[in-house]
Amino acid sequence: MNRIENIFLKRTTKAGQWEKCLGWAFRLTTYLIILFAVLIFGEIFIKGGKQVFKTTPPFVEVDFLIEAPETLHVFEHEGEEHRLGNSEYQVFIQSDKSNPISNHSTYVYSAGGIFPCIVGTILLVVGAIVIALFLGIMSAIYLSEYSKQGAFIDSIRLGIVNLSGVPSIVFGLFGYALFVQFFGWNVSLMAGWFTLAFMVLPIVITASEESLRAVPMGFREASLALGATKWQSIRSVVLPYATPGILTSSILGITRIAGETAPIMFTAAYVVRDELPWQVERLSDFFFQGVMALPYHIYVLAAKIPQSEYTSGTQYGTCFVFLVVVLTISLASILLRAHIRKNLKW
């Protein structure tokens, strides 16, 4: 007697086995990427956290966050090893001249803090993203709302998309030639702002235009039918609903602006600057001065100073603070986007 085959039983086929293997390959690749990210960022957060936090009150190395970088002096005095920043070292030498020091070695930028670098990074990010959003939204409104669609506009869009793939070092050289040399702004905040803004403009324009075009055409038609002008319709109806998408592009821009080193090393950043940005004689001097910045400081620490037991703490601590600053600025943009999106209902 022949057995009746149950058509509901799950049968194994070669295609099914291949599909299962393919799924595992995708899954393992994803997990592998996450594993590498966890290892890299985990090492930075663990070793950098030791530089920024401590186990005794106030539990934060305040001096590391509020002081300027200094040279680290490592030496032996009366049989004991001392590690002092330059200011403390000068006081120590003046206070005890009777007993000479021995095995003296120095490590630049490995003592003190990174406060001027934090201030410079925040100023560069905020100024560049404001310029990029202003210019990018203006261009996106033209391309989406006012331009006559055709081959010419399509070629402009293609050019903007291709600009996003240009290496950052090219934007740095462009900014140096145009803003530093031709306009005579020298190495300054203004030159850095505009260079970084031009670098992220393709991202901002593309994302903003897509956000504007995602707003239903019926909203515009209803506004125009009520007697509003085209600009009034865009300003009052289209832009509010496109704002969450535009803020998304700003988040992408912030992360790229904050992390780039090549553009600012030609246009805005100094290795060391004795005065803070607001310590100027005239208000206009604020815009035409160079600043210290965390990405450039990390580059100098990593490229110019060998890693050792005396320098690794500052290197990891600077990377840790840099990641926290970028995450904080990005989180603020995400919260603002969520707040605006919560108040909008289609």
What is the pTM assigned to this prediction? 0.84
Burial class (CB in 10 A: 0-12, 13-18, 19+), 295: buried
Tokens of 298: 């990390």
**pLDDT for res 279:** 85
Q: How far is CA 8 from CA 3, 4, 13, 343, in A?
A: 15, 12, 15, 49
**pLDDT for res 344:** 67
Among 305, 325, 320, smallest CA distance to 47 is for 320
Query: Distance (Å, rounded) from C-alpha 278 to C-alpha 205?
Result: 32
Three-state DSSP state, 109: strand
Among 244, 237, 257, smallest CA distance to 338 is for 244
**Distance in angstroms between the alpha carbons of the first and the last residue of the chain:** 65
User: Exposure pattern of 12-34 as b/e (b: 16+ CB <10 Å)?
Assistant: eeeeeeeeeeeeeeeeeeeeeee
- For residues 293 and 121, the answer to whether their CB atoms sit within 8 Å is yes
Among 40, 73, 112, 129, smallest CA distance to 314 is for 112
- For residues 245 and 340, the answer to whether their CB atoms sit within 8 Å is no
**pLDDT for res 1:** 53
Tokens of 49: 């956290």
- For residues 253 and 208, the answer to whether their CB atoms sit within 8 Å is no
Residue with tokens 């604020």: 286
Taking the CB of residue 115, how many other CB atoms lie within 10 A of it?
18
Which residues, in sequence order, are CB contacts of 236 under 8 Å at separation 6+?
A: 223, 228
pLDDT tens for the chain, 346 residues long, are: 556 666 666 677 888 889 989 999 999 999 999 999 999 999 999 999 888 888 888 888 888 899 888 999 998 888 888 888 888 888 888 887 677 788 888 888 888 889 999 999 999 988 998 999 899 999 999 999 998 888 999 999 999 888 888 888 899 999 999 999 999 999 999 999 999 999 989 888 988 898 888 888 888 888 889 888 889 999 888 988 888 888 877 777 777 787 788 888 889 988 888 788 888 888 888 899 889 999 899 888 888 887 788 888 888 999 999 889 888 877 887 887 787 777 766 6
Find the DSSP H helices in the chain.
14-52, 62-66, 86-95, 115-141, 151-163, 168-175, 189-214, 217-225, 230-233, 239-259, 262-267, 283-287, 294-304, 312-342
Q: How far is CA 70 from CA 51, 66, 297, 315, in A?
A: 15, 12, 12, 13
How far from the centroid of its chain's Cα atoms is residue 35's Cα?
A: 22
Burial class (CB in 10 A: 0-12, 13-18, 19+), 330: middle
Tokens of 161: 């998309």
